[in-house]
Amino acid sequence: MSDDLRPPSPDAAQHDPDYLAEVRRMVAAARLGRAVDDDLLADYVGGALAGTGVEEQVAELIATRPEWRSAHAAAVPAEAAVRADLAHVGAAPVTAPPELLSRLADGFRQQTPPDHPVVPLDRERRAARRRRAQWLAGAAAAVVVLAFAGIAGASLLTGDGESGSARRTDSAPNGAAPSPGDTRGPNHAQVAPKDGRPTDGVRLAASGTDYTTSTLGQAGDQAGQQALSGTAAAAVPSALRPLADPARLDKCLHQLGAPGASLVDFAMFRSRPAAVVVAPAGSAEQISVVGPECGTDGAHLRYQTTVVSLHAS
Amino acid sequence: MDPRGDTELLRAHVAGDPAAFETLVRRHADRLWAVALRTLGDREEAADAVQDALISAYRKADRFRGDSAVTTWLHRIVVNACLDRARRRQARPTVPLPESGTAEPVATGPQVADQDTALTVQAALAELPPDQRAALVLVDVYGYPVAEAAQILGVAPGTIKSRCARGRSRLAGRLGHLRNQTAPPDVRSETADSEDGGTQRGRGAT
């Protein structure tokens, strides 16, 4: 949507020059031929030719050419009838669906507020590297960070088409900054209690990332900086909150066949709420994307891939 | 209900008020949704377009310069998102678009129930070129002044008038309103000629 915020064209000008040139050509052609130009006649009937300098010429065609007179006589009441039809459509009350409002509220919560303090890029990058180094030292056993990851193995695609690149929710171009106000170190990850359940040792996060197939390999990196603290828990998309319940998540990981998962990021995949599950698979990692219904009647797997770590710097 | 005006809410959002933008959006959600729904004719697509647009507006709110009303600005972003989608869909149409306004009508007379009329009109509207459809939705369906529709769509007011006029002409053919007209006794019906392909059509307004 590159033109979303484009400024309006100079609206002091009633007519676009291209339009003026077009209607002049149309009038010239109409005067030479016999056929009625429906678009030109429509513009005349709809009042679009006022101020163009050709309105009078079309009026002359209507006055002097039987075919134009006939078409005009038909077009005037037809235009009024169409206006009435369209107004009738607009008279029906339309209310925004609650689920859309809910999606919007979730979406807004995942955005970085516009007043997020601006940090010089190099300073932010150094800070990000420092945080990342601390995090790696403390959590290396749990998550392999894939700074440069190669994607290997067959991918199982069950969703719809690709919708674009990942949209980070923070404003740092390349940084991995946690949400504003989250100044805790990355080693404060909340870990599920060790009671022998599949969620044992699983790091839970709500990174707010909108993953795509090409960015899933960075899941550990994206989510690893932001453990699911009390603050971050509020960022879990509402559609995924039932899945954040430990019992439900246990069942989900069982159904997924990933009881040894190291990370669950309650995030988005292709702009839809999804949980990204990272599980060790030998020297690689299996990354699975499941829908909010995971743990009900199945895993609701949307996408799965295996990522091989080349190095973890 | 929040007593702040739209501009005040937008400024509060830019200043860091976490609830201001959602309040603003909820205030205008029904109208934005209605415009998106009528422009795209598909609930799921309309919802996606509104979501994409308003998330974009949330992020770029600091770019709002106050040249227009906040609601006009929100409409512009939503309508542009709808048009982007409509044009992409048009690039891979599943239903052939009519070549002229005098194609075979989808309705044959005025004696149809109100609801059927609305559905028929919406179906015919969905077959118009996206630019004409968006102009008609704003001006004729929802009664926006031409000047405001021009601001929303980023074109000259004359272009809005032309898009509406040509869109109505096409709809008149599709809805059968031209068929019941009786030609003046001294001339041949040009409408009949046009159905044989005798009518020249101009290019759509830009």
Taking only the tens place, the pLDDT of each residue in B122-159 is 999 999 999 999 999 999 999 999 999 999 999 999 99
- Residues A146 and A237 occupy one common structural domain: yes
Residue A215 pLDDT greater than 90, yes or no: no
Residues linked to residue A288 through DSSP beta bridges, in sequence order:
A277, A304
CA distance A167 to A181: 21
Give domain status of residue A127, yes or no: no
Q: What's the mean pLDDT in A259-278?
A: 86
Task: Give the mean pLDDT of A151-165.
Answer: 32
Report chain A's mean pLDDT, rounded to a whole number: 70
Range of the domain at A226: 140-311
pLDDT band at A196 (very low <50, low <70, confident <90, very high): low
Residue A135 domain flag: no
Query: How far apart, in Å, do the first and last CA atoms of chain B sit?
Result: 41
Q: Which of these three, A57, A91, A125, is where a domain ends?
A: A91
A12 belongs to a structural domain: no
Tokens of B38: 């009528």
Residue A150 within a domain: yes
ipTM associated with this complex = 0.77
Higher pLDDT among residues B189 and A15, named by residue: A15
**CA angle at A236 for the pair A165 and A304, rounded to the nearest 5°:** 50
What pLDDT does A134 receive?
53
Side chain identity at A261, as an amino acid letter?
A
B101 and chain A in contact, CB less than 8 A:
yes
Span B167-179, average pLDDT: 89
pLDDT value at position A101?
A: 94
Taking the C-alpha atoms of residue A256 and residue A64, their distance in angstroms, rounded to an integer, is 78
User: With contacts defined as CB-CB under 8 Å, which chain B residues touch A6?
Assistant: 80, 154
Contact (CB<8Å) B200/A38: yes
Start-end of CATH 1.10.1740.10 domains in chain B: 1-94
Average pLDDT estimate for B55-79: 92
The three-state DSSP-derived secondary structure of A138-196 is HHCCCCCCCCEEEEEEEEEECCCCCCCCCECCCCCCCCCCCCCCCCCCHHHCCECCCCC
Domain boundary among A91, A113, A148: A91
User: Do A304 and A178 belong together in one domain?
Assistant: yes
Residue A127 pLDDT level (bands cut at 50, 70, 90): low
Note every long-range contact of A228-235, with CB atoms under 8 Å and residues 24 or more positions apart, other chains counting: A228/A189, A228/A190, A228/A203, A228/A204, A228/A266, A229/A182, A229/A184, A229/A188, A229/A190, A231/A179, A231/A181, A231/A182, A232/A179, A232/A182, A232/A205, A232/A206, A233/A206, A234/A109, A235/A109, A235/A110, A235/A179, A235/A206, A235/A208
CA gap B97, B42 in Å, rounded: 17
Report, as an integer, the average pLDDT of B85-90. Answer: 83
Same-domain pairing of A174 and A239: yes
> What's the average model confidence in pLDDT over A156-161?
32
**pLDDT recorded at residue A185:** 29
**Rg of the Cα atoms in chain A:** 30
Which class does domain B101-182 fall in?
A: mainly alpha
pLDDT of A118 reads 36
| Cβ within 8 Å of A, B 70-89 | 76-77, 80-81, 84
Question: Residue A53 and residue A32: Cα distance in Å, rounded?
Answer: 18
pLDDT category at A16 given cuts 50, 70, 90 is confident
Residue A11 resides in a domain: no
**Local confidence band at A226 (pLDDT 50, 70, 90 cut-offs):** low
> Based on the structure, what is the number of domains in chain A?
2
**What would the DSSP string read from start to end of B71-114?**
HHHHHHHHHHHHHHHHHHHHHS-SSPPPSSTTS--S---S-S-H
**B chain contacts of residue A40, beta-carbon cutoff 8 Å:** 202
Q: Let me know if residue A213 belongs to a domain.
A: yes
Specify which residues B185 forms β-bridges with: none
Task: Give me the CATH topology for the region B1-94.
Answer: Rna Polymerase Sigma Factor; Chain: A (1.10.1740)
pLDDT over threshold 60, residue A173: no
Q: How far apart are CA B88 and CA A224, in angstroms?
A: 37
**Higher-confidence position of A219 and A147:** A219
Are A260 and A171 members of one domain? yes
CB pair distance less than 8 Å for A108 and B53: no
- The chain A residue lying nearest B36, using CA atoms, is A96
Assess if residue A125 is contained within a domain. no
Pair A158, A302 in one domain:
yes
Residue B100 class from Cβ within 10 Å (0-12 exposed, 13-18 middle, 19+ buried)?
Answer: middle
Is residue A131 one of the residues assigned to a domain?
no
Same domain, A160 and A49: no
Partner-chain contact B80 A46, CB within 8 Å = no
